Amino acid sequence: MRIALDAAGGDFGAAPNVAGAVRALQTVPDLTVVLVGDQAQLEPLLAAQDGVPAQRLEIVHTSDVVGMKDKPTEALRRKPDASIFRCWQLLAEHKVDGLVSAGNTGAVVAGGLKTRRFLPCVHRPGIAAVMPNARGHSVVIDVGANVFPKPRHLLEYAIMGSVFAQELLGVSRPAVGLMNVGEEEGKGHELVQKSYELLRQGPLRDQFVGNVEGRDIPRGVADVIVTDGFTGNVVLKLSEGVFEFLMNVVRERLVESLQGEKEQAALAWRDLIGRYHYSTFGGAPLLGIDGVCLICHGASSDVAIANALRAAARFVQLRLNASLVAALEQLPPDGEE
Amino acid sequence: MRIALDAAGGDFGAAPNVAGAVRALQTVPDLTVVLVGDQAQLEPLLAAQDGVPAQRLEIVHTSDVVGMKDKPTEALRRKPDASIFRCWQLLAEHKVDGLVSAGNTGAVVAGGLKTRRFLPCVHRPGIAAVMPNARGHSVVIDVGANVFPKPRHLLEYAIMGSVFAQELLGVSRPAVGLMNVGEEEGKGHELVQKSYELLRQGPLRDQFVGNVEGRDIPRGVADVIVTDGFTGNVVLKLSEGVFEFLMNVVRERLVESLQGEKEQAALAWRDLIGRYHYSTFGGAPLLGIDGVCLICHGASSDVAIANALRAAARFVQLRLNASLVAALEQLPPDGEE
């Protein structure tokens, strides 16, 4: 299968993208990566890599880039040839099966919305993120594609998140929770109250565990947490921030306070970082589009990029979209939403 | 000064409230606590305590309680004599200077909204929570009183949060950030976009550091984080949950993996729990009401209740509301909001 990589995307430019592509190609034999970026920049970076499977690596040249601080809608208008939009174009033209980007998330989503190639029954795609918890992992959807959704969108996110948890986390009947400020029915603002009703009556009614609170996410109360993209984005970034903050104080105040067993404690500490760090989850898919799109953290290393390319290849192989379409077909017709 | 304590509030009933009240009285000489709850239940609990300063402890009897799962508005209608509403009544009648409750947060807020005794220029009170971060502490406002606010409310929260950070955290010119999904201007939904404009032009324009993301909270980028009560509630509870989860895995996988220095590591671990646990911050004030109202975690221990009573006493002594009123007077007249 063929995956386009937004080689200019991310906080560190082309280098981790090129290295990540080579890493992924070395472990996935039937993968071809299309590097979309500045050829003059990419070629020397490739030349510096060992063991490049050159016949499975293509370059599509473009020198335009959407910066991390650019406004997505403006970028769409002013830089239609930017690397991320060229990736979407390749997907629309069926020249690739999927795309991976560590660039400006808003621009990735804007490019996807512009193509309007959504799966049947999907009104708005949503980003699903996998987060560690005390019982394993859960899926939070949406984490930033749709900051002011309608209740119907959350219902669609529940369906897509549930299929994703089944396929990716291997949970046979994922428990679906609605992010809210309290467990009781009737809590929260209009969006969650109306979404609660739709979820309670919808095709996932037997998997719906009701409202969940912030503390329920790390406790692993639900396998899928459905929320608006504003709250979900805060949830994802806050979790990452609290993780960084606490692991730092654990190192400074606990590991460093030891004498004889400091080395052993430091090893255990690094193991925890590896176990719960975002880079191990290989990017967050934009679910609901016809194709595969994986969005990576801006600060992605080559390891994270390689993980994302492998994950994208896996979604193509799994035919995740076919499962999403089958599940979405169970939705009742869209009423007044 | 006199503080009413919702003695029936919290997950563990009257016991931690009574023990907490006695603890607080023993350390704050000019404090009187009015226990509001079931006299028949409170008296034996008091009799079991040593060193009770009985002349500074009063009981106001009521046997009605708002349960943690009761709907606040229904409770207001059906149980007007519930302990938390009696606390508000005592405040409205100037029989106490403040109140403390570990009960149903929605009911505490509903009781406050019903009295309508807001400070001048305040349209809606907001709950301010103090959270630890890599540089000290920050104030997040609102964490649950107002789940669908207007931009004007967020402007008022910024002013109140800033005064609170000055008085409580000793920051002379608190940096104020707006919770959003990205740093750039123009990010997010209509509420944050409009609030951004109000903050940029408002009396705190020189302290306004713009949008902050989830990960910026633990990094300590701002001293005050302004947000709607839905997002703020998720932020507060998620931080608590991630803290619990990570400290558990640190104990299981790091502390327990050691041999000779296990005891020392366990001590350092407990020190971290003490340093960053919510109970040390003594409850979250509902800012904007004429009086002092501190809302405690439902799972508050006697230590947490005592901390909250001491904090409430301190706010009364500091004349926090006078400072809030002085700052709120700088607000421009309320336009179309």
- Burial status of residue B99 (CB atoms within 10 A of its CB: 0-12, 13-18, 19 or more): buried
More confident site: A168 or B152: B152
Residue-averaged pLDDT of chain B: 94
Using a CB-CB cut-off of 8 Å, the residues of chain A touching B231 are 230-231, 234
pLDDT digits (tens, 9 = 90+) for A261-293: 999 999 999 999 988 876 556 789 999 999 999
**What would the mean pLDDT of B67-90 be, rounded to a whole number?**
94
Q: CA-to-CA distance for A319 and A313, rounded, in angstroms?
A: 10
Q: CA-to-CA distance for B64 and B86, rounded, in angstroms?
A: 10
Q: CA-to-CA distance for B224 and B195, rounded, in angstroms?
A: 15
| Nearest by CB: B258 against A144, A218, A265 | A265
Structure tokens, A214: 């912030």
pLDDT of B336 > 50? The answer is: no
Q: CA-to-CA distance for B95 and B294, rounded, in angstroms?
A: 17
Tell me if chain A has a CB within 8 Å of the CB of B149.
no
DSSP A225: E
pLDDT of A173 > 90? The answer is: yes
Amino acid A337: pLDDT = 45
Q: Where are the alpha helices (DSSP H) in A165-301?
A: 190-201, 216-219, 229-253, 262-276
Buried b (16+ CB within 10 A) or exposed e, B133-144: beeeebbbbbbb
**What would the mean pLDDT of B157-166 be, rounded to a whole number?**
97
3-class SS of residue B86 = helix
Nearest alpha carbon to residue A223 among A153, A138, A140: A138
Tell me if chain B has a CB within 8 Å of the CB of A142.
no
Most distant CA atoms of chain A, gap in Å: 67
Cα–chain-centroid distance for residue A321?
15
DSSP B182: S
Q: Model confidence at B186, in pLDDT bands (50, 70, 90)? A: confident
Min Cα–Cα distance to chain B from A29, Å = 36
Q: Model confidence at B110, in pLDDT bands (50, 70, 90)? A: very high
Answer whether A305's CB lies under 8 Å from A16's CB. Answer: yes
Amino acid B234: pLDDT = 97
DSSP B289: B
| Nearest by CB: A241 against B189, B218, B233 | B218
| Nearest by CB: B213 against A188, A237, A250 | A237
pLDDT digits (tens, 9 = 90+) for B113-137: 998 889 999 999 999 999 999 999 9
pLDDT of B240 > 50? The answer is: yes
Domain B129-278 has CATH 3.30.70.270: no
Q: In chain B, what is the straight-line distance between the N-terminal and C-terminal CA atoms, in Å?
A: 37
Question: What is the CATH architecture of A126-278?
Answer: 3-Layer(aba) Sandwich (3.40)
Domain B2-122+288-323 has CATH 3.40.718.10: yes
Cα four-point dihedral sign A123, A128, A134, A136? positive
Rounded to two decimals, the ipTM of the complex is: 0.94
pLDDT of A108 > 70? The answer is: yes
Parallel/antiparallel/unpaired status of strands A284-287 and A126-133: antiparallel
Reading phi first (left if > 0) and then psi (alpha if -120 to 50, else beta), residue B89 is in alpha
Using a CB-CB cut-off of 8 Å, the residues of chain A touching B297 are none
pLDDT of B10 > 50? The answer is: yes
Q: CA-to-CA distance for B183 and B180, rounded, in angstroms?
A: 7
CA distances in angstroms from A253 to A244, A266, A267, listed in the order given: 14, 12, 16
DSSP B13: T
Nearest alpha carbon to residue A159 among A4, A274, A336, A330: A330
pLDDT digits (tens, 9 = 90+) for A301-311: 999 999 999 99
- The full DSSP string for B256-273 is GG-STTHHHHHHHHHHHH
Min Cα–Cα distance to chain B from A184, Å = 6
Tell me if chain B has a CB within 8 Å of the CB of A250.
yes
- The number of C-alpha atoms within 13 Å of B279 and in the hemisphere containing its C-beta is 14
- The full DSSP string for B105-138 is HHHHHHHHHHHT-BPTT-SS-EEEEEEEETTEEE
Backbone φ and ψ for B121, nearest 5 degrees, come out as 75, -5
Which secondary-structure segment (H or E) carries B89?
A: helix B83-92
* B129-278 matches B2-122+288-323 in CATH topology: yes
Question: Using only C-alpha atoms, what is the Rg of chain B?
Answer: 20
Structure tokens, B187: 């990010």
**What would the mean pLDDT of B214-239 be, rounded to a whole number?**
97
3-class SS of residue A36 = strand
Considering chain B, what percentage of its residues have pLDDT values greater than 90?
A: 90
**What would the mean pLDDT of A223-240 be, rounded to a whole number?**
97
Identity at B319, one-letter amino acid code: R
Amino acid B337: pLDDT = 46
Structure tokens, B202: 């408002």
Considering chain A, what percentage of its residues have pLDDT values greater than 90?
A: 90
- Burial status of residue B24 (CB atoms within 10 A of its CB: 0-12, 13-18, 19 or more): buried
Smallest CA–CA distance from A184 into chain B, residue: B69
pLDDT digits (tens, 9 = 90+) for B96-105: 999 999 999 9
- The number of C-alpha atoms within 13 Å of B280 and in the hemisphere containing its C-beta is 11
pLDDT of B335 > 70? The answer is: no
Identity at A210, one-letter amino acid code: G
Please name the residue that has the structure tokens 């809030």: B324
Alpha-carbon dihedral angle through residues A202, A206, A210, A214, given to the nearest 10 degrees? -110
More confident site: B168 or B139: B139
Q: Model confidence at A335, in pLDDT bands (50, 70, 90)? A: low
pLDDT of A163 > 50? The answer is: yes
Using a CB-CB cut-off of 8 Å, the residues of chain A touching B218 are 238, 241-242, 244-246
| Nearest by CB: A181 against B179, B233, B268 | B233
3-class SS of residue A133 = strand
Amino acid B123: pLDDT = 95
Parallel/antiparallel/unpaired status of strands A98-101 and A292-295: parallel
Amino acid A336: pLDDT = 45
Using a CB-CB cut-off of 8 Å, the residues of chain B touching A108 are none
Backbone φ and ψ for B62, nearest 5 degrees, come out as -155, 140
Question: What is the CATH architecture of A2-122+288-321?
Answer: 3-Layer(aba) Sandwich (3.40)
Answer whether B141's CB lies under 8 Å from B229's CB. Answer: no
Taking residue B80's Cβ as centre, other Cβ atoms within 10 Å add up to 13
Amino acid A277: pLDDT = 77
Using a CB-CB cut-off of 8 Å, the residues of chain A touching B268 are 253-254, 257
State whether A179 and B234 contact (CB < 8 Å).
yes
Parallel/antiparallel/unpaired status of strands B98-101 and B292-295: parallel
B 23-62 → A contacts, CB under 8 A: none
| Nearest by CB: A242 against B69, B243, B261 | B243
**What would the mean pLDDT of B51-71 be, rounded to a whole number?**
94
Which secondary-structure segment (H or E) carries A60?
A: strand A57-61
| Nearest by CB: B231 against A230, A240, A255 | A230
Q: CA-to-CA distance for A250 and A259, rounded, in angstroms?
A: 15
pLDDT digits (tens, 9 = 90+) for B188-198: 999 999 999 99
Amino acid A168: pLDDT = 86
Identity at B134, one-letter amino acid code: A
Amino acid B184: pLDDT = 87
Report domain extents, chain A: 2-122+288-321, 126-278
CA distances in angstroms from A132 to A201, A217, A223, A277, B306, listed in the order given: 29, 9, 10, 9, 35
A 207-236 → B contacts, CB under 8 A: 213-219, 229-231, 233-236
Interface A-B, measured as beta-carbon pairs within 8 A, has a size of 183
**What would the mean pLDDT of A76-97 be, rounded to a whole number?**
96
Q: CA-to-CA distance for B181 and B192, rounded, in angstroms?
A: 10
